[in-house]
Chains A and B, each alone.
Chain A
Amino acid sequence: MYMAIFILFAIMSIAGAIMVITLKSPVSSAIALIFVLCCIAGLFALMGALFMAALQVIVYAGAIMVLFLFIIMLLNLKDEILGEDEKKVTRVFGSILGIAFLLEIGFFVRRALTVGSESLMYPVPEQFASIEVISTGLFTKFLFAFEITSVLLLVAIIGAIMLSKGEGKTEY
C-alpha cells in the first residue's frame, strides 16, 4: 500500500514537472508547478514528515506560487517579445545538459547503492522530521541559523521595497 501511494505520488510529480517545462502558457506552467508541489508534500507526508508536508503546501503552493503568478502577470511576456531565434539552440543545449546532469546523479546514486556504505539503506527513523524534532533542533542546535534567517528576511523586505517602490512618479 505504502509503495503504491509512493509510486502514485512519484509519477504524478514527475509528470507535473514535465508539464511545467513543456506547457506553452506560463500561467499553466505555474498551475502545474502547484500540482508538483502538492505531490511532493504527499511524498513528505509518506515519510512521516507531516510538518514539512504542511509547510510545503502553506509556503510553496500557497505564498510562493501567488508571487510567481503575480510576476508572470507583471512581466506579461509574449512570444513576440521573447523572440524565436535563440530559443531552439538554448532548448537543445539545455536539454542535453539537463539529461547529462540527471544521468550523472543517477549514476552516483546507483554506485552508492552498490559500492558505498550501507548508509543509504537505513529505514526512515521513527521520529523523522516530526514537528518535535524540527522544533527542538531549530531552537537549540541550529539557534543561530534561526536567528540569522530574520536578518535575511529583513534584507529581503528592504530590497523588495527598494527595487519596486519608485521615487515620486511610478514608472510602469
Chain B
Amino acid sequence: MIEAYFPIFVLFIFALITPVVMLLIPKIVAKREPTPIKDAAYECGIPAEGDARERFPIKFYLIAILFLLFDLEAVFLYPWAYIYKKLGLFGLIEMGVFITILLVGYIYVIKKGALKWQ
C-alpha cells in the first residue's frame, strides 16, 4: 500500500533538490562584482531609509493564530467525514456539539472585530 506513495517520495526529493541546485548554480557560475549602488534595495528611485526588518503589527499575529485555531477545527472534519456514514446520526450530533462550541468563539471573534483591519 505504501509503495503506491512512492511517487510522492520522489516528488519530495525533487522538491528538495531543485531549490538547492537553483541556489548553488548562480554561486558557481555568476560573476560577482558588488558595488554599494548594486547592493542597494533599489538601484534607482528614492534612497532606502532605515531597516527593512520593521516590527510587524500584532494584527498579523492575530490573524495567523485565528487561522491556526480554525484550521485545527477543520482537521477534525477529515476523519469525521471518513466514517460519517458509519456513525450516522450519532456522528452528526457529535460534530454538532463540537462546532457549536467553536461557533461561540466565532461569534466572539466577529463581535470583537478581530477580523477587521483597521
**Pairing of A with B:** yes
**A interface residue numbers (CB < 8 A to B):** 5, 38, 42, 45-46, 48, 50-51, 55, 58-59, 62-64, 66-67, 70-71, 73-76, 131-132, 134-136, 138-139, 143, 146-147, 149-151, 153-154, 156-158, 160-161, 164-165, 170, 172
Q: Within 8 Å of chain A (Cβ to Cβ): is B71?
A: yes
A63 touches B91 (CB 8 A): no
A70 touches B61 (CB 8 A): yes
Within 8 A of A (CB), among B61-98: 61-62, 64-69, 71-73, 75-76, 78-80, 82-83, 87, 91, 94, 97-98
B108 touches A132 (CB 8 A): no
A70-B64, A154-B104 provided; 12 other pairs, C-beta below 8 A? A45-B2, A48-B2, A63-B68, A71-B61, A73-B53, A73-B60, A76-B54, A76-B55, A76-B56, A138-B80, A139-B83, A150-B102
Does more than half of chain B's interface fall in helix, strand or loop, or is it mixed?
helix
* Given A135-B83, A143-B94, A150-B101; A74-B75 close (CB under 8 Å): no
Nearest-Cβ distance from residue B16 to partner chain A, whole angstroms: 8
A51 touches B78 (CB 8 A): yes
Q: Within 8 Å of chain A (Cβ to Cβ): is B50?
A: no
Residue of B nearest to A154 (CB): B105
Residue of A nearest to B2 (CB): A48
Interface CB pairs A-B, < 8 A, 28: A42-B12, A45-B9, A50-B2, A50-B5, A55-B75, A58-B71, A59-B71, A66-B64, A66-B67, A67-B64, A67-B65, A73-B60, A74-B58, A131-B82, A135-B79, A138-B76, A139-B87, A139-B91, A139-B94, A146-B94, A156-B69, A158-B108, A160-B66, A161-B114, A164-B62, A165-B62, A165-B112, A170-B59
